[in-house]
Amino acid sequence: MSMATELAATYGTPLYVYDLDRVAAARRDLFDALPEEFGVFYAFKANPHPEIARTLREDGSRACRAEISSTGELAAALAAGYSGAEIFYTGPGKTAAELATAMGHGVRMFSVESLSDLRRIGSVATGHGVVVDCLLRINSASASASTSIRMTGTSSQFGIDSESLADLVPQLKSVPGTRISGAHLFPLSNAKDEESLISEFQHTIEVAAWVQKEIGVEFRHLDIGGGFAMPYAVPGERPVYRKLRTELGGALDVAFPGWRANGLQVFCESGRYLTGGCGELVCSVVNIKESRGRKFVILDAGINTFGGMSGLGRLLPVAVQPQADAEPGDTEVANLVGPLCTPGDLLGRDVSLPSPASGDVITIPNAGAYGVTASLLMFLGRPAPTEVTVRGGQIVSVSRLEHNRVYGDPR
């Protein structure tokens, strides 16, 4: 019996199990793939669990900083031990109240999506009597990779359109309470291969050098985004990037001569690569039914527990790890669905799995990123899944988000 199955017997299902040793290994692998001068921002949207974030903050010079986009993520970062100085606040909808909370906790670095966003940041900073570092997020008109999830090159709520930057420079440089200290670019997510990732980063660095020249400010900070891949809810391993370190260093040497010596801090961002492989979602078969020639395996975990981002229009691929005691060939094909009262509660079509029976335990691999907090957690008011963190085969923490308390205890 696997550890996940044993934990499910103790704590019930649905259940997330996060292996913190795998989190630490992913952090090491990513830093090894980057030039040694690089920093890494951990994108809390992938998984804000404090134990995961705390693990990513360990290891001195190879500690990840925090990239957040809400006061809820700010609270998670603070709970994990991050100081305001280690936090980068991003997002297109930063309100004055959120900014005041962040600055009150010492956050001094912000991504800027527009002139009005910068002015709001400056107004709050002036009220606090501080000057904050602002990285201009740029929506480049061009891109390199044509695959993966594109985050630039079209009209968007994200970033300042590159073609409008020149006209905005005088106003951007004159907002009280702010200091333009660099650029933030995030052109794609989940690159299909290392060549695509390298090509996109090279293009991003070229754009960043153009931005520095355009605004006439020597950069202190440069965030070139992410795009590091990781299988999502299907078996597989993190890719190993063997050429990335050399290619990134070379691109920066050309675009920002002397960057290693002049104090330019260069960052990448990552969420799924750091956490995707640490988690398993363990769920139970509640019922099995046939409908017009198709089999449906109904689980106690649905899009309220995992894969709620399928509401964005992308059906998320889910695969099941076969049970260890299944005989070779002893499988059948079925639709994997959750318990919710909507036909959209579909985790996978035509999934091959060992012949299921009510009460069986099924494990979904590589579920450490975009799980609980990326799901339709409040829909139908079902309890949130339990989350267990382990290290070295020992339990570190057991917790569960308690959203049902809003309505009181029905007992």
Q: Say what the pLDDT of residue 410 is.
A: 45
Residue 180 pairs in a beta bridge with 134
Nearest CA-CA partner of 1 in 354, 280, 324, 364? 324
d(C-alpha 206, C-alpha 194), whole Å: 18
How are beta strands 294-299 and 109-112 bridged, if at all? Answer: unpaired
Q: What's the average model confidence in pLDDT over 143-150?
A: 48
Q: What's the average model confidence in pLDDT over 133-153?
A: 67
* Domain boundaries for CATH 2.40.37.10 within the chain: 277-401
H-helix or E-strand containing 29? helix 20-33
Residue 329 has pLDDT above 90, yes or no: no
Position 158 confidence tier, pLDDT thresholds 50, 70, 90? low
Residue 319 has pLDDT above 70, yes or no: no
Q: What's the average model confidence in pLDDT over 202-215?
A: 95
Find out whether 134 and 179 touch, Cβ atoms under 8 Å: yes
Residue 145 has pLDDT above 50, yes or no: no
Find out whether 185 and 160 touch, Cβ atoms under 8 Å: no
d(C-alpha 117, C-alpha 114), whole Å: 5
Residue 110 has pLDDT above 70, yes or no: yes
Helix residue spans in 188-243 (DSSP H): 194-215
CA distances from 291 to 219, 296, 299 (A): 61, 8, 16
Query: What confidence tens digit (pLDDT) does each residue in 385-407 have?
Result: 999 999 999 999 999 998 755 55
Q: What's the average model confidence in pLDDT over 373-393?
A: 92
d(C-alpha 281, C-alpha 13), whole Å: 9
Q: Say what the pLDDT of residue 328 is.
A: 58
Q: What's the average model confidence in pLDDT over 196-202?
A: 95
Task: Give the three-class secondary structure for 394.
Answer: strand
* Domain boundaries for CATH 3.20.20.10 within the chain: 34-270
Torsion, Cα 251 254 256 259, to 10 degrees, reads 80
Query: What confidence tens digit (pLDDT) does each residue in 8-57 have?
Result: 999 999 999 999 999 999 999 999 999 999 999 999 999 999 999 999 99
pLDDT above 70 covers what percent of the chain? 88
Residue 161 has pLDDT above 80, yes or no: yes
Q: What's the average model confidence in pLDDT over 183-210?
A: 92
Mean pLDDT of the chain: 89
Structural class in CATH, domain 277-401: mainly beta
Report residue 88 as tokens.
């980068």
Task: Give the three-class secondary structure for 380.
Answer: helix
Find out whether 134 and 112 touch, Cβ atoms under 8 Å: yes
- Rounded to two decimals, the pTM is 0.91
Classify domain 34-270 at the CATH superfamily level. Alanine racemase (3.20.20.10)
Position 186 confidence tier, pLDDT thresholds 50, 70, 90? confident
